Amino acid sequence: MKNIIIFGAPGSGKGTYSDKIVAKYGMGHISTGDVLRGEIKNGTELGKIAKGYIDNGQLIPDELMIDILAKTYDAEPAGKGVIFDGFPRTIAQAEALKKMLAERGHDMGVMIELNVDEETLMARLLNRAIEQGRADDNEETIKKRFEVYRTQTAPLAEWFEKEGMRNTIDWQKNNSMDAMLSAIYKVIDTANA
Ligand code: AP5
Ligand code: MG
């Protein structure tokens, strides 16, 4: 299986669709947000550093994030392909990922961009706040996360375009979880054909 980079704003469904892809294709899944929340829960040094950034809706510094990502990737079983969920989020992270994979004889595979309007995203995240109580799911922090996404992460879509990897799937056009999933599976199956 080719690697997959699932890309999109907070609440766009990166985690939700990753779970479905894992169930269908049996790939590995690295969510950098989940990795960091695990570190916070375990009270590690890294968790203490990460907490300040996450609670404020800001990105963890690139050098730290790139180091964590490489360690997490190397702990995955080889050969099954991995979904990168929430990484890369900056051009520096994207360049580092490309280099890290090339050093291991692997490639980035396919990028899937989930395009969802902010009103829908806000409603989903406020709903998740009630269900799961994630520390960064409050209106003020969600707005900061949107701003960080718009200014630091969204421009990266162009970088993927130049790499010939960009596949955008639009919520407005599909408008149901099943239709989104069909479109996602089609991209994955085409890439692996
Ligand atoms: P991270 O955990 O990655 O959060 P995020 O990008 O803000 O995205 P979310 O996890 O909130 O949303 P999602 O796209 O996974 O959507 P979900 O499937 O849950 O990162 C958190 C923080 O960690 C960052 O702010 C940063 O501080 C730090 N960080 C992480 N990675 C980093 C990196 N690479 N560099 C630097 N810092 C980093 O869906 C949302 C909700 O919608 C769910 O409840 C779902 O059930 C619901 N939902 C309703 N309808 C639908 C539908 N039709 N499709 C999908 N989901 C739906
Ligand atoms: Mg997520």
Name the strand (E) or helix (H) holding 190. Answer: helix 177-192
Looking at residue 170, the DSSP 8-state letter turns out to be: E
Ligand 1: residue whose CA is nearest its atom 27: 54
Contact 155, 42 (CB under 8 A): no
Closest residue by CA, ligand 1 atom 53: 177
The span from the first CA to the last CA of the chain, in angstroms, equals 10
Each residue's pLDDT tens digit, 167-190: 999 999 999 999 999 999 999 999
Task: Judge whether 14 counts as a catalytic residue.
Answer: yes
Q: How confident is the model at residue 112 (pLDDT cuts 50, 70, 90)?
A: very high
Residue % of the chain over a pLDDT of 70: 100
pTM: 0.97
19: its two tokens: 């779970």
pLDDT tens profile 9-59? 999 999 999 999 999 999 999 999 999 999 999 999 999 999 999 999 999
For 61, 66, 110, the CA distances from 172, given in Å and listed in that order, are 33, 33, 22
Q: Which helix (H) or strand (E) holds 29?
A: strand 28-31
The CB of 65 under 6 Å from ligand 1? The reply is yes
What is the number of the ligand 1 atom nearest to the C-alpha of 33? 2
Quote the radius of gyration of the chain (alpha carbons, Å).
16
